[in-house]
Amino acid sequence: MSDDEGPDYEQLRGMGFICWREINDYNTNDNDTPIADTENKSKKKKRKLSISEENVPTKTDDIPAKKLKTKKKKKASATRSNQTHATSTLHSANKPASNNADDDKSQMEHDTARKIWLDLGVSKTIVQALIEQKFYEPTQIQRMVLPSAIRDRLDIIGAAETGSGKTLAFGIPILTHMENLIKQGEVKYGQFLTLILTPTRELAVQITSHLQTACQYTKLNIAVVVGGMSTHKQERLLSKHPEIVVATPGRFWELINEGDKHISNLSQLRFLVIDETDRMIEKGHFVDLEKILNLCNNLIHLTYSSEEMNHPQRQKFVFSATLMMKELEAMSKNKKQAVTDEHEKLAVLISVVGMSTKPKIIDLTKKFGTVETLTEARVTCSLEEKDHYLYYFLSLYPGRTLIFTNSIDCIKRLQSILTILKMNSLPLHAQMEQKQRLTNLEKFSSSENGILIATDVAARGLDIPNIQHVIHYQVPRSTQLYIHRSGRTARAEREGLSVIVICPEELHLYRKIIKTLNRDEDLQTFPVDFTNFSNIKKRVKLAVEISKLHHQVAKTTHETNWYFKAAKELDIELDEDIRDNELAKSAGTSDSKIKEQQLRNELNILLKQKIKSSDKIYSNSYPLLFGDPEKLLTKKVNLTAIDELKQRKPKQKKRKA
Ligand SMILES: Nc1ncnc2c1ncn2[C@@H]1O[C@H](COP(=O)(O)OP(=O)(O)OP(=O)(O)O)[C@@H](O)[C@H]1O
C-alpha cells in the first residue's frame, strides 16, 4: 500500500493501534523489562492476530471443544501474568493461576461467569469471548441494558460514566441478536445489518476492535469507515460485505454519495447505534448525521409495508457519558420545554433516529458527573505559572499522563519546553496526519511514563489502558468536556487523578463546571511543596527562554536564507541596505545561537542537581521517590499523587445529595 493512501484497517492492527488491550497485556507482562522491545512486540501481535483470524466456527455448538481449549490455553498463558489489565482490579479471578487448585478454582469461576452471561440471554459464542477476556460479570450499565435490549428488544437510551463499559452494553445485545437472526434464517451473512456512528476516527477504530474481540468465535465481519484513511481501501473492505460498519458520519456519507452498493441499502439495517450522542449533535457532525438518519428512514418508508413499519424491525441505541437525560426523557414523552439550540438538535435526533415511543432510558449519571474512583484536584495560579506547576507535577509524579490543552499552538509550545527540560512528550491533534496520530497513541499506550499532549480530539471514548493522570492544562470550555477528558483515567474501577490548572481568566469557566457538576465546594487544592519550587521555576524560566530564542533563530534563519536564495535564483543583486540589513539579522542570529547555548549549559547544570527538601528528594530523572533518603536508594517508598492527596484530605469529593 502506498503511503499516500493512508493506513488501512489491517495496517492499524499491525501498528497495534486497535490492540490496546493486547498492547497492555504484553507491556504489563514485561513490567520490569524495557518496553521498546519491538521484535518481541511484533511477534506477540502476530500471534494475537492469528488467533482472531482463525475464527472458523459460527454457531456456539459448532466450536470444536478441542479448539476452544487450545485457544483458551494460548490466551490464558498470554494473560495470566498481565495483572495490570484495566479490568484486573474488578475481579479476583484475574489473579495468576499458578497451581492445580487455582486452575480448579478458575474453572469454577468460569462456569459461574458463563452462567451469569447466559442467563442474560447472551449467545454462547459471545460468552466464550467475554470469559477469555476475563470479563466475568457485566458492568452496571451492561447489567441494566442487557435484559431490555436482548429479552425485550427495546430501543435504548443509555448514559453512564466514562469507562463503565458502554461499548459492550450495546455491542453484546447486537452481536447476540445478529447471531440469532442468522440462525433463524431471517437474515444472511453478508447483509449490512448494523451501523454504529461515532464522532472520532480513533473511537471508531477502538469500537471495532472491542467488538471484533467479542465476536471472534462468530463469522460476523466488521468494517471501519473513517476519514483520514484511504477511501479506496475502505471501499475494498465494504466490498467484502461486512455485517457491521462502524463509521464517522462524514466519511460514511461520502461513501454513500459515491454509490457504494453495500452501505447504500440502509433499508435492511436492523441495528443502529449513535455513540457519544452529545458530541454528535454538535456542529461538524450533525449535518451529515441528520442526512444519514433521514436516508435510513426514507428507505424504510419505501421498502417496508405499513404493517412492517409498526413492527420494531430496527433496534436503536443512543449512548453517551454526558447525555442530557432530563431533556431526552421529556422529549420522549413529548413534553414541552425551553428550546435551546442543543435541545432542538436533540429533538430532531430523537425523531430522525426514529426511536420507539417507549425507549428504555437508563441513566447512571444522575448523581455523579465523574466516576467515584477519580480523585480530582485543582491548581490555581497565574497564566505564566502554569508551566511551573505542570513541570513540578510531571517531575514529581511519573506515570502515564495525558495533558489536555484547548489549542494546537499550546501543544506545540508545551512540547518544545518539555523537550528542552528533557522530558519526552507526544502530541495529538487534528492537524496531524492520521497515521502519525495513531502511531503516537500506540507509543503513549506502551510507555509506562508516557506523556501525551492533546486537544479534545482525545477527550472522548478513548480506552487507553492505565492512564494514571489527566491534567487539564487549560480549563475545558464545557462541563461535558471536563467529564470526558477526566474519564480517560480511572476507567473500569481503577483509580485515577485529574488536576485542573486554572488561571484568573479561566475562573468563570471553572465555576460553571463546578456548578453544573452539582458540587457544593471547590475541588481540593493540589498539594505543592514550595521548599524547592524556586529551582523548578529557574529550570522552567530557562526552558521558556531557550524555546523562544530557538524559534526566533529558526524563523530568522529561514527568512534570511529565503531572501538570499531568491535573489540568487532571480540573478539579481540585492540593494546594499537590504543586504546589510539581512547580514545584520544573520549576525544577530549568531549572537542568539551563542546565547541559546549558554542558557542550555546553565539549564543542564540545573538538571543534574538533585533537589533536597525536608521530606522529599527528587531529581530530573524518573522515578521520583519520597521519604527517607535511605529508602530512596532501595526504591522502597513510592507515594503517588493520589496518595499525597489522600494523606492530606481523605474525603475529597463532596457532591450535593
Ligand atoms: N464486563 C466487563 N468486565 C470487565 N471489564 C469490562 C467489561 N466490559 C467492558 N470492560 C472494559 O472496561 C473498559 C471501558 O469500557 P468502554 O470503553 O466501553 O467504556 P465507556 O463507558 O464506553 O467509556 P467512555 O464513556 O469513556 O467512552 C474497557 O477496557 C473494556 O474492555
- Percent over 70 (pLDDT), the chain: 67
Confidence of residue 367 (pLDDT cuts 50, 70, 90): low
The per-residue pLDDT for range 505-556, each reduced to its tens digit, is: 999 999 999 988 888 889 999 988 888 788 899 999 999 999 998 888 777 7
Sorted by sequence, the CB contacts under 8 Å of residue 519 that are 6+ apart come out as 654, 655, 656
User: Could you tell me the distance, in angstroms and rounded to a whole number, from the CA of residue 616 to the centre of ligand 1?
Assistant: 37
pLDDT at residue 368, rounded to an integer: 59
Output the CA angle 5-7-12, nearest 5 degrees: 170
pLDDT band at 1 (very low <50, low <70, confident <90, very high): very low
- For the entire predicted model, the pTM comes to 0.73
Which amino acid belongs to residue 204?
A
pLDDT at residue number 165 = 94
Ligand 1 neighbours (beta carbon < 6 A): 86-87, 90, 135, 138-139, 142, 160, 162-168, 321, 461, 463, 487, 491-492
| CA of 164 relative to ligand 1 center, distance in Å | 5
Query: Which residue has its alpha carbon closest to ligand 1 atom 14?
Result: 163
Query: Which residue owns the Cα nearest ligand 1 atom 2?
Result: 135
Q: Which helix (H) or strand (E) holds 454?
A: strand 451-454
pLDDT band at 648 (very low <50, low <70, confident <90, very high): low
Per-residue pLDDT tens digits for 284-301: 778 888 888 888 876 444
Of 148-152, 208-212, 480-484, 637-641, where does mean pLDDT reach its minimum? Answer: 637-641
Q: Please tell me the CATH code under which domain 107-303+310-363 is placed.
A: 3.40.50.300
In this structure, whether the domain defined by 374-528 belongs to CATH 3.30.470.20 is answered with no
For the cut 70, the answer to whether the pLDDT of residue 630 exceeds it is no
Residue nearest to atom 10 of ligand 1 (CA): 165
Residue with CA closest to ligand 1 atom 11 = 165
Q: What is the pLDDT of residues 115-147, one digit of tens each?
A: 999 999 999 999 999 999 999 999 999 999 999
What is the band of 377 on the pLDDT scale with cuts at 50, 70, 90? very high
Looking at residue 640, its pLDDT comes to 72
- Of 29 and 260, which is predicted with more confidence? 260
Q: What is the pLDDT of residue 364?
A: 84
User: Residue ranges of the domains in the chain?
Assistant: 107-303+310-363, 374-528, 533-608
> Which pLDDT tens digit goes with each residue over 382-437?
999 999 999 999 998 999 999 999 999 999 999 999 999 999 999 999 999 888 99
pLDDT digits (tens, 9 = 90+) for 449-482: 999 999 999 998 889 989 999 999 999 999 889 9
Q: Do domains 107-303+310-363 and 374-528 have the same CATH topology?
A: yes
pLDDT value of residue 344:
63
Number of Cβ atoms within 10 Å of the Cβ of 289: 26
Q: Is the pLDDT of residue 595 over 70?
A: yes
Look at 638 and 213; give whichever has higher pLDDT: 213
Nearest alpha-carbon partner for 151 in 118, 123, 186, 120: 120
pLDDT at 369: 76
The residue whose grid cell reads 477502538 is 206
* Residue 223, amino acid: A
Instruction: Using the atom order of ligand 1, give the atom closest to the CA of residue 86.
Output: 29
Q: What is the DSSP string of 116-137?
A: HHHHTT--HHHHHHHHHTT--S
> What integer pLDDT is reported at residue 406 of this predicted model?
97
Per-residue pLDDT, averaged over 240-268, amounts to 90
Residue 554 region, left (φ>0) first, then alpha (ψ -120 to 50), else beta? alpha
Residue 210 has pLDDT above 90, yes or no: yes
Measured by CA distance, the residue closest to atom 22 of ligand 1 is: 166
Report the residue among 91, 141, 164 best suited for mutation to probe ligand 1: largest number of ligand atoms under 8 A from its CB: 164
Decide which of 626 and 596 is more confident: 596
Supply the residue whose CA is at minimum distance from atom 30 of ligand 1: 165
Q: Does residue 6 surpass a pLDDT of 50?
A: no
Q: What's the pLDDT score for residue 482? A: 95
pLDDT at 427: 97
Ranges 401-410, 610-619, 645-654, most confident: 401-410
Which pairs from 180-186 meet CB under 8 Å and 24+ separation? 180/123, 181/270, 183/59
Residue 617: helix, strand or coil by DSSP? strand
* Between residues 327 and 66, the one the model is more confident about: 327
